[in-house]
A and B are shown apart, each in its own frame.
Chain A
Amino acid sequence: MSEPAPSAAPQDDLVRELEALHAASFGWALACCRRDRESAQEALQAAYCKVLSGQVRFDGRASVKTWLFGVIRLTALEQRRWAWTRWLLGNKPALDPPPAQRGPDQALADREEEARLSRALAGLAARQREVLHLVFYEELTVAEAAAIMGVSVGAARQHYERGKKNLGERLRPKGVER
């Protein structure tokens, strides 16, 4: 009696789950990369590469989403550090231009609103941006966000409150009506 390949089925299941989470993963990668599409795509690809190569393994302790978002967050962080290193060494201008300098399409009002939100988010501290994204964009609880961010629930709640306050202040001068 032949034995089935031990790792084929779980791997396929994981790939299916990753595919189902792909859009959300890309949104999360955008949040981790200050809404820069190119960096987000690179970070997500690098995270997938880690999964494929077995550098990171899903151990079932948390949900696949929590695990994957944690991997993406760390990968984006590594890429950002690496970009800084390259920039410090003077190899090439690896750092993204500040998002505030990237002009949105002025012709489209909805695009302008999105760009304004993106700029406001990019101006927040990383932790605040992350927790706001996870709560408002992914509709997770603060506790779930804390698990992904690798901080305590109390700390996540603090980042959440400060983030909301700062984001409101950044959006208000641009004429946002309450």
Chain B
Amino acid sequence: MSDEADRDLRQRFQVLRERDEAESPAFRSLWRAAAPAPSRRPWLAGAAAAATCAALLLLAVLARPGADIESPRPALALEHAPLDFLLKPVRPCASLPMPAAAGRGFLE
């Protein structure tokens, strides 16, 4: 490419540059917009931290070895189901006579 063509390109780019510079947004506005906005709810982080601490404390207390936690099971064990009597062992009836059968003499 000739020097003349280079000059032409350079000139075109300089016109473009002047236009861009005239129309570029203000630095301060972009810079301010880029700055991270302060949190709208600064108390939220503190509250979240406090809630987490409370939850951890509760877990630590509950998971302590030997922690005496009342269980509902004993109360349930005391209750009697309506058909409990069916599970009681049947007592052998000693007074019933042995039936007469062949070969009983061998046993006596």
- Is A66 an interface position by the 8 A CB rule? no
A129 to chain B, nearest CB (A): 12
With A23-B21, A41-B25, A114-B16 as known contacts, state yes or no: A48 contacts B1, CB within 8 Å: no
- Is B71 an interface position by the 8 A CB rule? no
With A23-B24, A46-B34, A48-B34 as known contacts, state yes or no: A178 contacts B8, CB within 8 Å: yes
Q: Is the CB of B5 within 8 A of A168?
A: yes
Of the residues A46, A136, A176, contact of B13 by C-beta under 8 Å = A136
Q: Is the CB of A52 within 8 A of B15?
A: no
- Is A7 an interface position by the 8 A CB rule? no
Give the residues in chain B near A161, CB-CB below 8 Å: 1
With A23-B21, A136-B9, A137-B13 as known contacts, state yes or no: A165 contacts B1, CB within 8 Å: yes
**A22 to B21 CA separation, bound complex (whole angstroms):** 9
Q: Chain B residue with minimal CB distance to A121?
A: B16
Give the residues in chain A near B27, CB-CB below 8 Å: 18-19, 22
**A60 to B33 CA separation, bound complex (whole angstroms):** 26
Q: Is the CB of B16 within 8 A of A110?
A: no
Q: Is the CB of A27 within 8 A of B24?
A: yes
With A27-B17, A165-B1 as known contacts, state yes or no: A49 contacts B8, CB within 8 Å: no
With A114-B15, A168-B5 as known contacts, state yes or no: A23 contacts B34, CB within 8 Å: no
The 5 A-B pairs with the shortest beta carbon distances in the complex, nearest first, are A48-B34, A136-B13, A26-B24, A22-B27, A49-B34
Q: Which residues of A contact B (CB under 8 A)?
A: 15, 18-19, 22-23, 26-27, 30, 37, 41, 44-46, 48-49, 51-53, 110, 113-114, 117-118, 132-133, 136-137, 161, 164-165, 167-168, 176, 178
